[in-house]
Amino acid sequence: MLLYTKTMFSRTHSVSTTGQTLHITDVEITASGGLPKFVIIGLASKTVSESRERITTVLTQAGIRLPHKRVVINLAPAELKKSGSTLEFAIAVGLLKLLGVALEENNKTIYLGELSLDGSLKKIANASKLILFAQTQGYTNFVIPQENYVELSQIQGVTLHPLESVANYMQHCRSQTPLPTFTPSDQKNQKNSPSFTTVKGQAIAKRALSIAVAGKHHLLMIGPPGNGKTMLAQAAKELLPPTAPFRAPHQSCSQTTLIGTERSSQPGELSLAHSGILFLDELPEFSKKNLVALRQPMEATILSLTASKPAPCDFTLLAAMNPCQCGFKNSTKKTCTCTRHQLNLYSKKIDGPLKDRFSLQVYVPALSPEELQNTHQNFSEATLDQLKKDVARTSAQLTQHKKTAPTSQLFLPLSDAASKLLYKANSKLYLSARRYHNCKKVAQTIALLDGKKSILADHIAEALQFRIQ
C-alpha cells in the first residue's frame, strides 16, 4: 500500500564494502529546516558521495520534487567506511519513502543497485556474494536489478524482486501493486549452468577438477578448441559450497582489476575469488604483466599489496588454453597450421615458473564422433551427489589440518611402495622441489577422496600422470 503521509524520517537497508569486508548498511534520511542542501554522512567514499548527483537527476526526471530543505543521509554504522555504488538504489528508495511515495515493506528487505542517468538499474558485480552475506544476517527479501536475476535465481531461501528501473518501482507504488516476486522454487528442475552430468566424456578432466577443488590445487587444462574446457571449469562450481565465489575475469583485464592495487579500496579478482575458484580462460591471451603477477599469489593465501592492508586470496586457479595458436598441435583430427616461429612464440607465453605452479595439468582431447552422438549419461546424478560429499569431506579434513600444521606437511603416512615409486619417478623426471612436494600433496588429496588412511603407490601414480611436458 502507498504511504500517503509525508514523513521527516525514512530508513532502508543495503550492503556495502569496507575493503574486503561486507556489512549491512542502514540508509537513514531526514529532512529539516535550514538552507537547502543534500548531505551524505557516515564515512562515505568518493564514489558514494558522487552518487547524489545521479540520484537527484533520476528522481527529478521522474517528476519527483525533492524537499526544499536540508536533507541528510546517514550511512550506518558510522565508524565503517562505505564504498561501491550498490547503495544508490537504497538511497533513492529512502528519498521516495521520505516523500510518501513508497511501498510498505518487510523489515528484512535489502535494496541493491547502481543507477544510470536514465533511471535504469545497472547490473551489479558480486551480487551473489552480497546476497549470501545478507542472508547470514537474517535478510530474506531483495530488490535487485533485472539483469542480476538469472545469476541470483539459484540461491535458496530468498525472495527476489527484480526491477528494470526506478520508474518501474514507482509504477508499482502509484498503482499500489506488489513488486514482481520470484523464489528459487520457481526455477526448480532448471539447470542454467553446465554440469558434470551434461558434459559428455572427459572423465580424466572431471577427475582432475574434483581433485583440484577438494585440495585447492591449481589446474591447467590444455586441448583443442570447442571440446569442453570452459564448460568443465564452469561445471566445477557445483562442487563448491553454495557461498563460494566463482570468478572469471576477461583476458583484457588490467593488472589492477586482476590483482588489485594499494591505492584503491576495491579488491582485485584474486581476492574476490577467496575461498572459491578463479577461472582464467584462454590463459596465454592475458598480458605478460598479469601472468608474471600471478606467480606469488598462487602460492600464498594473503596478498600483501601494502603492509597495512593485506588482502585474502586463498583461491583455486583453474586455467584453460589451446596447445598452439591454431589450436591443433599434436591433434589426430586436424592438421596444425602454425609455423615453427608461431609455435615458439605461443609456448613462451606460459613460462616455466608459471606452469610449474600448476599442481595438476591435464589434456582435454577432442571427442570422437561416437562420444558426441552418445546419449547415455556417463555421469549420473547419484554419482555427482556422492562426489560432492567426497569433495566436501576431503576439503574439511584438509582445512582442519591447515589449522594445526604447515600446508607443506602431510598428515597421511606415505606407504613404502608409494615412497619407492615417487623416488623412482623423480630420478627419471627430475621434478623440481615444488613439483615433488606438490605431487605428494595431490596424492594425499586423492587418498582422502578415496577414503584411505594412507598414501598408496596408486595415489602417487595418479598424481604423476597429471603432468604435461
403-422, pLDDT tens digit by residue?
777 655 788 999 999 999 99
Over residues 313-367, the pLDDT tens digits come to 889 999 999 999 898 898 877 889 999 999 999 988 998 899 999 999 999 988 8
Cell 565503517 sits on residue: 80
Query: Which residues are within 8 A (CB) of 110 and not within 5 positions of it... i.e. 6 or more apart?
Result: 13, 14, 15, 24, 90, 131, 134, 139, 141, 142, 143
Bridge-based pairing state of the strands 37-41 and 70-76: parallel
| Nearest by Cα to 324 from 294, 362, 284 | 284
What's the pLDDT at 5?
40
pLDDT at 108 over 60: yes
The ranges assigned to domains in the chain are 9-187, 203-379, 405-465
Compare 17 and 230 and report the one with higher pLDDT.
230
Over residues 355-399, the pLDDT tens digits come to 999 999 999 988 877 777 776 657 788 888 899 999 999 999 998
The CATH fold of domain 203-379: Rossmann fold (3.40.50)
The answer to whether domain 9-187 has CATH 3.40.50.720 is: no
Q: Are 300 and 259 in contact (CB under 8 A)?
A: no
What's the pLDDT at 188?
44
Tell me the average pLDDT of the chain.
Answer: 84
* Alpha carbons 364 and 352: distance in angstroms, whole number: 20
Over residues 204-216, the pLDDT tens digits come to 999 999 999 999 9
Query: Between 381-404 and 203-215, two packed helices, what is the crossing angle to 10 degrees?
Result: 30
* Alpha carbons 384 and 414: distance in angstroms, whole number: 29
Over residues 419-453, the pLDDT tens digits come to 999 999 998 888 888 889 999 999 999 999 999 99
Looking at the chain, the whole-number percentage of residues with pLDDT higher than 70 is 90
What's the pLDDT at 443?
95
* Alpha carbons 309 and 303: distance in angstroms, whole number: 9
Model pTM score: 0.65
What's the pLDDT at 424?
92
Which of 96-105, 107-116, 241-250 is least confident?
Answer: 96-105
Kindly state the average pLDDT of the residues 61-89.
83
Bridge-based pairing state of the strands 121-122 and 114-115: antiparallel
Kindly state the average pLDDT of the residues 221-227.
89
What's the pLDDT at 315?
93
Query: 158-169 as b/e, with b when 16 or more CB fall inside 10 Å?
Result: bbbbbbebbebb
pLDDT at 92 over 70: yes
What's the pLDDT at 227?
84
Over residues 451-461, the pLDDT tens digits come to 999 999 999 99
Kindly state the average pLDDT of the residues 47-54.
77
